[in-house]
Amino acid sequence: MQSDKIVFTGMRPTGKLHLGHYLGVIENMVKLQDEYKCYFFIADWHALTTKYDKTEGLKQDIIDVATDWLACGIDPNKSTIYVQSLIPETAELHIYLSMITPQNWVERDPNLKDMAKILRSKEGFASQINYGLMGYPVLMTADILSFNADFVPVGVDQVAHVELTRDIARRFNNIYKTDFFKETQPLLNSCPLLCGLDGNKMGKSFNNDIKISDTEEVTAKKVMSAITDRSRMRKDDPGHPDECEVAFKYWKIFGTQTEIEKVQCECQKGLRGCADCKRQLGTKINEKFAEIREKRKYYETHPEIVEKILLDGSQKAREEAKQVLSTVRKLVKMF
Ligand code: TRP
């Protein structure tokens, strides 16, 4: 470990993760664990903000996320991996922070506005915005400040949350005349976003993703369904890699420089049909994930090991959070 700075990030338990998660965050997490003291957690309370009435699959979803993390190389001997709801100190911190957070700070949160719009378009009792969902960004702040983290690796969509964390931390420091909470910085990943097989944002609910856990056959089949250059009719027509909606974008992410140039050149000259191109691409992706998928099989068949890692990590994380909370209680002058 080269630095004692703290890196902290988490994911909601959405079940099995896709390649977008891998390239967007997990790969980065694996690197960071060699450089910093890392906490990686699964945000099961955050899942409840919208899925409080669908909790049957929650435990399995948590195990699935952890299984993917471990398969990808997140190492419990280097990082602390934990489950949010096993750290009640975070809930306590959430209470203190909620007392000092102006309501309009949470209302201006852009993600919350989006979620609210989606919810309002639905019918029935799930269409209202509950108190807990309003507090989503404050809970996220409590996660981060439970460990007084220095850096939070996140996607662009979460940067506003980290800014809010800083605002709340500053306000806490002002009110309680301290400099205890650090000014957390977001760490943006430079990796380009991997789009879904249909060219839109990759997402589980859009049915356009490739899972880390997909077999080679499923991956190959999914890649064959990827959108290419819509204006191209026959395979020996000259193609337009820059108008290729998915396949060439994937090549740019998964291929070597030489491969990318070869694909580009052959496509432009009409020497490479889209079907062949995607067959090769499928093979390429399968090669990249072969080792991870092999490792995943081990954890998948030993869920008790995954569970034990989460329980041990949570215990370790809790010890740290307890210390932070003990300071916070003193600063707030609780009984
Ligand atoms: N909001 C994040 C997501 O939707 C998950 C999350 C919760 C998180 N608390 C966090 C991420 C704290 C980073 C830091 O994926």
Scan for tokens 């099995």, then name that residue: 16
**Residue 140 Cβ < 6 Å to ligand 1:** yes
For residue range 117-142, list pLDDT tens digits in order: 777 777 665 567 889 999 999 999 99
Q: Which residues contact 117 (CB under 8 A, 6 or more apart)?
A: none
**Residue 272 Cβ < 6 Å to ligand 1:** no
Q: What percent of the chain has pLDDT over 70?
A: 98
**Residue 144 Cβ < 6 Å to ligand 1:** yes
Domains and CATH numbers, the chain: 6-194+303-332 (3.40.50.620), 214-296 (1.10.240.10)
Scan for tokens 């702040």, then name that residue: 141
For residue range 29-88, list pLDDT tens digits in order: 999 999 999 999 999 999 999 889 999 999 999 999 999 999 999 999 999 999 999 999
In b/e form, how buried is each residue of 226-247, taking b as 16+ CB within 10 angstroms? bbbbeebeeeeeebebeebbbb
Number of H helices, E strands in the chain: 15, 5
CA distances from 33 to 74, 77, 309 (A): 8, 10, 16
Give CA–CA dist 209/222, Å, rounded. 8
Nearest CA to ligand 1 atom 5: 11
**Residue 219 Cβ < 6 Å to ligand 1:** no
Give residue 108 CA to ligand 1 midpoint distance, Å. Answer: 17
**Element at 152 (helix H, strand E):** strand 151-154
pLDDT at 237: 86
Report which residue type is found at 79. Answer: S
| Averaged pLDDT score across all residues of the chain | 93
For residue range 188-206, list pLDDT tens digits in order: 877 778 999 999 999 888 9
Q: State which of 11, 26, 157 you would mutate to test the pocket of ligand 1, scoring each by most atoms of that ligand within 8 A of its C-beta.
A: 11
pLDDT at 183: 96
Give CA–CA dist 14/44, Å, rounded. 9
Query: Edge to edge, what strands does the sheet with 6-11 contain?
Result: 80-83, 37-42, 6-11, 151-154, 185-188
Nearest CA to ligand 1 atom 10: 140
Give the mean model confidence (pLDDT) for residues 223-234. Answer: 85
Q: Which of 95, 152, 147 is nearest to 316 (CA)?
A: 147
**Residue 81 Cβ < 6 Å to ligand 1:** no
